[in-house]
A and B are shown apart, each in its own frame.
Chain A
Amino acid sequence: MEETQFKKAVVEIQKLGVTKEEKKHMRESILSTHVLPQRSSHVLLRSPFIVLSFIRHNRLVDGGTRMVYSAASTAGKSFFFVKKVVKNIFSR
């Protein structure tokens, strides 16, 4: 390997990145975190720990199965219980 190969290798590494879809979802997910507590204050009163753990894990927007499992595990609740809470939050 020579100097030019080093530069080429660096450029190859720099090609790594997120996809457009991931970028869009992540942005929406982050920017919506401040909206949730206001929109779901009544739910927050009922089950604060679950909702807070969701906010903390920032899993609410795309609501993927893996994320719901993660939050359920954090909150010590069942998968279906947490899924129901999330559905309630977003249907209002």
Chain B
Amino acid sequence: MKQDITTTFELHYEKELDGIFRFCLVRVSNREQALDLVQETFLRLWQNLQDGKEIQNCRAFLYKVAHNLIIDWYRKKKSISLETLMHGHKAREYDIRDETLLGLPSVGAEGKELLEKINELPDAYRDTLYLRFVEDLSPQEIGEVLGISANTASVRVNRGLIELRKKVGYQIDKN
């Protein structure tokens, strides 16, 4: 039984580790923090497996946990400026700064540019596009991660693509 749990964990750990790390890194723009979040994400998987809880789709589960942990981290970290309050600007869930991309030395110029453009998109499109094209999640899985239906995820991918095309100035295939 314990061997089964360890094997299952190892399987998903090997398969999803880099993807979860990328997902966290492009959001928090800090390697150490991203590693902490990844560790916490896989720890939750390990605890769930040990508790004998059934996980239908492990991949979607891991991205969902990572997504929630990132939101929690930003909520803890976020400080509201007086200027924002005075002008009534709606604060973004994520606060991606320009230095985010400077902190990704192993990514080439084109990769950085694409990440910049994706990060400029509205919140609703940014995550769906990233998960669809970079991590290759299905609309069903994206729906599970973001707590929306698969249809809504597909619509967001399509609309996000239209927005992204305007920003990058060229056609992108859906496939």
Chain A residue nearest to B46 (CB atoms) is: A30
> Which of the 9-residue segments B63-71, B87-95, B111-119, B141-149 touches chain A?
B111-119
In the bound complex, how far is the Cα of B171 from the Cα of A11, in angstroms?
17
Task: Report if B9 contacts A (CB, 8 A).
Answer: yes
**Given the interface contacts A13-B114, A16-B107, A31-B46, does A58 sit within 8 Å of B21 by beta carbon?**
no
Cβ 8 A contact of A17, one of B18, B43, B111: B18
Cα separation A69 to B111 with both chains bound (whole Å): 36
Interface extent on B, as a size class?
Answer: 35 or more
CB-based A-B contact count at 8 angstroms: 90
Question: B104 at interface (Cβ–Cβ under 8 A)?
Answer: yes
A10, A15, A29: the one within 8 Å of B106 (CB): A15
Interface residue? A27 (CB, 8 A): yes
* A15-53 interface (Cβ within 8 A of B): 15-18, 22-23, 26-27, 29-31, 33-34
| Other-chain contact of B39, A8, A14, A26, A34 (Cβ < 8 Å) | A26
The residue that A9 contacts in the complex, of B13, B42, B110, with Cβ under 8 A, is: B110
Enumerate chain B residues within 8 angstroms of A23, measured Cβ to Cβ: 17
Q: Are B173 and A9 in contact (CB under 8 A)?
A: no
Write the nearest CB–CB distance from A15 to chain B, whole angstroms.
6
B38: chain A residues at CB < 8 Å are 18, 26
Q: Is B46's CB under 8 angstroms from A16's CB?
A: no
Residue of A nearest to B169 (CB): A1
Who on chain B is nearest to A5 by CB?
B110
The number of chain A residues with a CB under 8 A from chain B is 27
Question: What's the least CB distance linking B125 to chain A, in Å?
Answer: 16
Q: Given the complex, which residues of B lie within 8 Å of A30, measured CB to CB?
A: 9, 13, 39, 42-43, 46
- Report, nearest first, the 5 A-B pairs whose CB atoms are least far apart: A12-B111, A17-B18, A9-B114, A9-B110, A12-B108
* 15 further contact pairs, Cβ within 8 A, besides A16-B18, A16-B104: A3-B171, A3-B172, A5-B110, A9-B114, A13-B115, A14-B22, A16-B22, A18-B17, A22-B35, A26-B17, A30-B9, A31-B46, A33-B47, A58-B39, A58-B43
Q: Mind listing 22 A-B residue pairs with CB under 8 Å? A: A2-B170, A2-B171, A3-B173, A5-B170, A6-B172, A9-B108, A9-B113, A9-B114, A12-B110, A13-B111, A14-B22, A16-B25, A16-B104, A17-B17, A17-B18, A17-B21, A26-B35, A26-B42, A27-B10, A30-B46, A31-B6, A33-B47
